[in-house]
């Protein structure tokens, strides 16, 4: 799923790593806040202050996403689900679990933990920012904290859309799964909602692009495409897992065994066996006994 990644740190036994695309987004966010958002909202500050505010807000955004993913991870570990790692990438973060939750309750608790953490961060930031303004703390500080409150609120709103594999989609899937006891059906419903929401984002992205908001438009378009792809893959994953459940190797083995004498040259093997029979493995025999594959 990811390209080149690099390790960052380890917390509560969970490794946090970043995809290279994350670095690009950190720089883009810092830049757009330092030259666009903050100068428009807080007038007449030196450029260095805007850059410091942009860097601080970017760092806070990074911390908020790590905390959101950590909330998923810690609850998963508590429910006995092994955690692989947290990966930060262009669209945020992913808590990669070693296996899928085994019960609807596990899935519900793991999924809801992230948005709850983001609600807490958003609330704390907004309260701090309002109290800070009343206490006449510098606008540089309250502005950054206000921004973090708003961005966490947006993370919550986006994540509670019941579109699988977003958190809201996972919550809905766990409820449907519990209701009918059918994980495949629950995944089918929520993944199709995920796909529809992706389509909706693509639509408003294209609309934004042609009506004078090219950056926001492209962004929504990319997230929409990503979501459609992720929902389709998640559903296929469940289908394949179901199809293979309980199957034994005998179902997938080739009953006819082709043997190759150990004296056959590689050229003969390629010409006479691989090109004609298209098998990937041949049993190599040494007269009467087999010597390898
Ligand atoms: Zn989440």
Distance 128 CA to ligand 1 centre (A): 24
| Confidence at residue 250, expressed as pLDDT on a 0 to 100 scale | 64
The residue from 69, 100, 247, 256 that is catalytic is 69
| Confidence at residue 109, expressed as pLDDT on a 0 to 100 scale | 93
**What is the C-alpha to C-alpha distance for residues 159 and 168, in angstroms, rounded to an integer?**
6
Boundaries of every domain in the chain: 5-244, 254-292
| Confidence at residue 123, expressed as pLDDT on a 0 to 100 scale | 93
Phi, psi of 260 (to 5 degrees): -125, 135
Active site residue 247: no
| Confidence at residue 202, expressed as pLDDT on a 0 to 100 scale | 86
| Confidence at residue 227, expressed as pLDDT on a 0 to 100 scale | 81
Query: Is residue 67 classed exposed, middle or buried when 0-12, 13-18 and 19+ CB atoms within 10 A define those classes?
Result: middle
| Confidence at residue 12, expressed as pLDDT on a 0 to 100 scale | 82
Element (H, E) at 18: strand 14-19
Distance 61 CA to ligand 1 centre (A): 14
Can you give the pTM of this predicted structure? 0.75
Distance 151 CA to ligand 1 centre (A): 14
Task: State pLDDT tens for residues 136-146.
Answer: 878 778 888 88
Strand order in the sheet with 259-261: 259-261, 283-286, 289-292
Distance 18 CA to ligand 1 centre (A): 16
Regions in the chain scoring below 70 on pLDDT: 1-2, 242-255, 288, 293
| Confidence at residue 2, expressed as pLDDT on a 0 to 100 scale | 64
């Amino acid at each position: 799923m990811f390209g080149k990644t690099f390790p960052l740190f380890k917390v509560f036994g969970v490794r946090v790593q970043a995809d290279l695309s994350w670095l690009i987004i950190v720089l883009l966010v810092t830049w757009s806040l330092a030259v666009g958002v903050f100068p428009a909202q807080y007038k007449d500050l030196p450029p260095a202050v805007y850059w410091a505010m942009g860097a601080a807000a970017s760092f806070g955004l990074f911390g908020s996403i790590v905390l959101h993913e950590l909330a998923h991870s810690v609850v998963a570990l508590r429910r006995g689900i092994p955690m692989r790692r947290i990966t930060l990438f262009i669209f945020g973060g992913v808590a990669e679990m070693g296996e899928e939750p085994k019960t609807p309750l596990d899935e519900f608790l793991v999924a809801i933990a992230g948005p709850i953490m983001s609600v807490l961060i958003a609330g704390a930031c907004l309260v701090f920012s309002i109290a800070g303004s009343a206490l006449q703390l510098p606008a540089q500080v309250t502005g950054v904290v206000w921004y973090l409150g708003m961005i966490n609120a947006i993370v919550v709103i986006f994540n509670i859309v019941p579109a699988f594999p977003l958190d809201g989609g996972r919550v809905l899937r766990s409820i449907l799964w519990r209701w009918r006891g059918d994980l495949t059906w629950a995944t089918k419903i929520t993944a199709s909602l995920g796909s529809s929401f992706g389509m909706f984002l693509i639509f408003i992205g294209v609309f934004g692009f042609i009506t004078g908001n090219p950056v926001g438009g492209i962004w929504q378009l990319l997230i929409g495409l990503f979501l459609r792809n992720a929902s389709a893959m998640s559903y296929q994953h469940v289908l394949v897992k179901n199809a293979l459940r309980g199957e034994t190797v005998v179902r997938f083995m080739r009953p006819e065994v082709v043997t190759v004498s150990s004296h056959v040259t590689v050229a003969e093997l390629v010409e006479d066996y691989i090109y004609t029979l298209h098998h990937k493995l041949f049993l190599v025999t040494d007269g009467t006994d087999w010597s390898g594959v």
